[in-house]
Structure 1
């Protein structure tokens, strides 16, 4: 599907937010990801919730 890339971008953003003490932002992004999955037509469990490879580490 041509829109799957957006799920990877959202996963990267969610991981960054979670790793950098931005829990409300991470939750909002998770909601946006679920919306994107529904609109793309994917089952919610297919996209997975594991951090993507190359996720940004926490800031120091």
Structure 2
């Protein structure tokens, strides 16, 4: 989902600012935050692809296909 990837650039800019101004702990935290944001964006992208391909989504929504849908 490229519409959400702008936040990664913002976090990188904030980290650069923090490093340039001696805010090392903040820079490290922003680096961790960027990793979390990237993982969540990738997860949302994979979920959107699964829904587009007719597979079950996060909340049990089934958008097509043939056969039975079984639940535990």
TM range (shorter): 0.5 to 0.7
The 2-side partners of 1:34 and 1:23 are apart by: 17
> TM-score, normalized by length of structure 2?
0.56
| Structure 1 unaligned spans of 5+ | 43-60
The 2-side partners of 1:3 and 1:18 are apart by: 24
Query: Stretches of 4+ moved more than 4 A in 1?
Result: none
> TM-score, normalized by length of structure 1?
0.67
Aligned residues: 42
RMSD of the TM alignment (CA)? Answer: 1.2
| Structure 2 unaligned spans of 5+ | 44-72
Bigger Cα Rg: 2
The CA deviation at 1:3 is: 0.4
